[in-house]
Amino acid sequence: MMSGAEMVVRTLTQLGVKHIFGYPGGAVLDIYDALFEASDIEHILVRHEQAAAHMADGYARATGEVGTVLVTSGPGATNTITGIATAYMDSIPMVVLSGQVATSMIGEDAFQECDMVGCSRPVVKHSFLVKKAEDIPTVIAKAYHIAATGRPGPVVVDIPKDIVNPKESHPYIFPDSINMRSYNPTVKGHKGQVKKALQVLLAAKKPVLYLGGGSIAAECSDLITAFAERLNLPVTNTLMGLGAFPGQHKQCLGMLGMHGTVEANKTMHNSDVILALGARFDDRVTNNVKKFCPNATILHVDIDPTSISKTVSADVPIVGSVKQVLSDMIDILDSTGESLEPAAMASWWSEIQVWREQKCLSYAKSDKVIKPQQVVEAMHRVTNGEAYVSSDVGQHQMFAALYYPFNKPRRWINSGGLGTMGFGLPAAMGVKVALPDSVSICITGDGSIQMNIQELSTCMQYGIPVKIISLNNQALGMVRQWQDLIYGGRHSHSYMESLPDFVKLAEAYGHVGIRVSDPSELDEALEKCFSMKDKLVFMDILVDQDEHVYPMQIKFGAMDDMLLGKPKAE
Amino acid sequence: MRRILSVLLENEPGALSRIVGLFSQRGYNIETLTVAPTDDPTLSRLTVTTVGDDRVIEQITKQVNKLVDVLKVSDITDGDHIERELMMVKVKADTTALRDELKRLSDIFRGLVVDVTPTTYVIQLVGTSAKLDAFIEALRSEAEIIEVARSGVTGLSRGEKSLRF
Ligand SMILES: Cc1ncc(C[n+]2csc(CCOP(=O)(O)OP(=O)(O)O)c2C)c(N)n1
């Protein structure tokens, strides 16, 4: 027998939860009181609940485990919404436990009441309102099960205050297994469809492998690499799929889409067969769907049937996990020994080679001002490409995606679907909490970093020494780039006047701040930053304000209609 | 194309709002909606009529199916089916001539007069939505309609095909 509050903590412990990111308040004080005694769970007190959700999210992205958030009712709960939506768009497993006013007061506009189940409904995989204390273990266990299985996603568990009353005792029954008649995600792809897809692929003359975030969630990078190598396929990753296949592999064409490489977008556009694994043909990839890859037969593998034929129709749809489907395909290849026609592949690769030789990522360095691309390249050098890089949103995000090749999955942590500024720092913190021995970087801009900068205080309290690499262009760079290209250079409200002195700010929070503006000092400054293993270092790097991210797809065009540099003034 | 989707879902609070929310969130149409518990009281059956091309209907079906509370979804317009809607119409009926005419009209449509006052009738009619529409049209030229309540469409597939858990 125990109280509801104790049950919450006991259930989390039994589920193996090691870290909670949270913030207390009236509705959850009983749970916090029960947490006071819990020795197996470390609680990180954040400075804003949005950041708690992003930390749990970064934690989940780096490890594949479910991230956990605990917040109070009303404002505590609503503050997590952006974080929940961010996780939802990128299919990240997370459980958010929110306090709620007592059952008897629900609907009365009680103090700090907010219909959290209603508020979060469009951005959760599922949600629960706990009705009786006895249900706590089962409901929370279900929440973790739903968050982690099928296409992962965030789940909200709203817990009214009376349910966790410490004065009432109830029997604690932890479920042996989770059975839900209405929830049984398909994992294994249909055999006939798998066979058919493989036949189409083997008959291709210009195939391409297109990897999305689902191929990271599937935890099968070895299989993907083995499969791609065996068939000598060109491979491209979405922003969410970076690292699913080694970025420095000779078959890797880099990222595709809006800021994709020439070779990736050209290869897609000219292909005759696309094998899409855990990708969703997002508008930032396809550009104008009407002009999308006109000659391609599309083989689409995804664990979520709604992702298939949503924007682009699949010719051979396969609902199932990337891992299962690929291993089935490899089994078939093993037994038949089939392969693609070598002559066709040789000519396809030589076509691709021509696109590669355009060297679309080359840029001009200067000895006066630091180029943002150069910072990312230096960062890659200094960290041997082994760091976990969490990003905010803007030009710096695209520079990082393009100039820091990820050879392993789960190293690149960014808000791809929602594009949430303010994600980077808390996400990097979540990574560092999950993997204390790793190098965890937050790459950011002077705009984004200010959206959750208060977490520098949390870093101090818990000793979370992330490295903040801020590409300070004194502007909302990505907005400015669009204004340059689309709005005739009218920079409406995209200039960051009155930036704080970030070095002093870092110091005020008890950390180290380093400012660099001279290109010749960049490498040394970065070496210094990464040599201070136990310190949070805030690198305020002043970079060229006028630099743009290229290539860039031209709106309403095909995949490969791209600008490769600033258009010449007419 | 107008479609009738039947959905079997957990009879739990919140389940309905997830379905309705999904429709508005993704910009799908709800023309009619009915829902009630089935012979198994832990399950509800919901019928929704919507419009869209095949692609949209396929997405709606998949999206609804994906909801954790939903057990099954079927587009009953895919095959032979029976659809019915119930309507009650309150009409002005304050002269003998009018009352005779309304009774006659209601008989033609196999309706029933289920409430009578010195000045009004309530006529109940069951049928397809098209039949209900036709009855309203016919009434309109004869009498003054005071109010109309329609249940929305519900339906079943014919024969062996069924939506059961
Ligand atoms: C919360 C939020 N608000 C607004 C935007 C729109 N937005 C996208 S990029 C960007 C500018 C980002 O500026 P900064 O963080 O300085 O990065 P830079 O582009 O300069 O590298 C803005 C405002 C967003 N993505 N997220």
Q: Which residues contact A84 (CB under 8 A, 6 or more apart)?
A: A53, A94, A96, A120, A123, A124, A154, A156
Q: Which tokens hold the place of A224?
A: 């993907």
CA separation for the pair B111, B164 (Å, rounded): 32
Tell me the residues of chain B between 59 and 118 that have a Cβ less than 8 Å away from chain A: 59, 62-63, 65-66, 68-71
CA separation for the pair A292, A135 (Å, rounded): 49
Tell me A475's DSSP state.
B
Residue nearest to atom 4 of ligand 1 (CA): A421
Quick one: pLDDT at residue B1? 84
The answer, yes or no, to whether residue A570 has pLDDT greater than 60, is: no
Residue of A nearest to B59 (CA): A306
- As for the ipTM of the complex, it is 0.93
CA separation for the pair A20, A18 (Å, rounded): 7
Structure confidence by residue, pLDDT tens digits, A155-204: 999 999 999 999 999 999 999 999 999 999 988 999 999 999 999 999 99
Tell me A122's DSSP state.
G
Among candidates A522, A239, A506, A534, which has minimal Cα distance to A382?
A522
Beta carbon of A547 within 6 Å of any ligand 1 atom: no
Average confidence (pLDDT) over A258-273: 98
Buried b / exposed e across B17-46, counting CB within 10 Å, b at 16+? Answer: ebbeebbeeeebeeebbbbeeeeeeebbbb
* C-beta separation of A428 from A500 below 8 A: no
For residue A566, the CA-to-ligand 1 centroid distance in Å is 20
- Give the count of beta carbons closer than 10 Å to the beta carbon of residue A426: 33
Give B-chain residues touching A118 at CB under 8 angstroms.
17
CA separation for the pair A442, A421 (Å, rounded): 12
Tell me the residues of chain B between 11 and 50 that have a Cβ less than 8 Å away from chain A: 13-14, 17-18, 21, 25
Residue nearest to atom 11 of ligand 1 (CA): A476
Task: Return the H-helix or E-strand segment holding A409.
Answer: none
Beta carbon of A448 within 6 Å of any ligand 1 atom: yes
Quick one: pLDDT at residue B56? 94
Structure confidence by residue, pLDDT tens digits, A297-352: 999 999 999 999 999 999 999 999 999 999 999 999 999 999 999 999 999 999 99
Q: Which atom of ligand 1 is nearest to the CA of A448?
A: 15
In percent, the amount of chain A with pLDDT more than 70 equals 100
Among candidates A222, A153, A238, which has minimal Cα distance to A412?
A238
CA separation for the pair A79, A76 (Å, rounded): 5
**Coil vs helix vs strand at A106:** coil
Beta carbon of A145 within 6 Å of any ligand 1 atom: no
Structure confidence by residue, pLDDT tens digits, A396-406: 999 999 999 99
> Residue A181 is nearest to which of B55, B65, B165, comparing CB atoms?
B165
Task: Return the H-helix or E-strand segment holding A465.
Answer: none
Q: Exactly one of A6, A100, A113, A161 is catalytic; which is it?
A: A161
Question: What are the C-alpha distances in Å from A412 to residues A389, A416, A427?
Answer: 5, 11, 11
Quick one: pLDDT at residue A187? 86
Phi then psi for residue A415, to 5 deg, are -85, 95
A478 catalytic? Reply is yes
CA separation for the pair A281, A417 (Å, rounded): 12
The alpha carbon of residue A396 and the mean position of all alpha carbons in its chain are separated, in whole angstroms, by 15
Q: Hey, which residues does A441 pair with through a beta bridge? A: A389, A467
A538 catalytic? Reply is no
Q: Check: pTM over 0.95? Answer yes or no.
A: yes
Question: What are the C-alpha distances in Å from A397 to residues A333, A376, A389, A477, B111?
Answer: 38, 10, 10, 11, 67
Q: Exactly one of A6, A49, A113, A547 is catalytic; which is it?
A: A49
pLDDT < 70 stretches in chain B:
none
Structure confidence by residue, pLDDT tens digits, A429-460: 999 999 999 999 999 999 999 999 999 999 99
Give B-chain residues touching A303 at CB under 8 angstroms.
none
CA separation for the pair A216, A435 (Å, rounded): 18
CA separation for the pair A75, A515 (Å, rounded): 36
Structure confidence by residue, pLDDT tens digits, A342-381: 999 999 999 999 999 999 999 999 999 999 999 999 999 9
Amino acid code (one letter) for A61:
R
Mean pLDDT across chain A:
97
Q: Which atom of ligand 1 is nearest to the CA of A473?
A: 20
CA angle, B38 then A146 then B39, to 5°:
5
Q: Which residues contact A331 (CB under 8 A, 6 or more apart)?
A: none
Q: Which atom of ligand 1 is nearest to the CA of A396?
A: 21
Quick one: pLDDT at residue A497? 86
Cross-chain Cβ contact A122/B21 below 8 Å = yes
CA separation for the pair A391, A423 (Å, rounded): 7
Structure confidence by residue, pLDDT tens digits, A515-559: 999 999 999 999 999 999 999 999 999 999 999 999 999 999 999
Quick one: pLDDT at residue A569? 64
The alpha carbon of residue A564 and the mean position of all alpha carbons in its chain are separated, in whole angstroms, by 27
In percent, the amount of chain A with pLDDT more than 90 equals 98
Provide the Cα torsion A109, A114, A118, A123; round to 10°: 160
Classify residue A313 by burial, with Cβ atoms within 10 Å: 0-12, 13-18, 19+.
middle
For residue A295, the CA-to-ligand 1 centroid distance in Å is 36
> Residue B69 is nearest to which of A117, A182, A310, comparing CB atoms?
A182
Residue of A nearest to B26 (CA): A122
Provide the Cα torsion A263, A62, A452, A398; round to 10°: 0
Residue of B nearest to A126 (CA): B68
Phi then psi for residue A460, to 5 deg, are -70, -50
Among candidates A247, A248, A268, A246, which has minimal Cα distance to A256?
A268
The answer, yes or no, to whether residue A489 has pLDDT greater than 70, is: yes
Give B-chain residues touching A89 at CB under 8 angstroms.
none
Residue of B nearest to A311 (CA): B55
Q: Assess whether the previous peptide bond of A317 is cis (omega < 30° from 0).
A: no
Among candidates A281, A286, A312, which has minimal Cα distance to A211?
A281
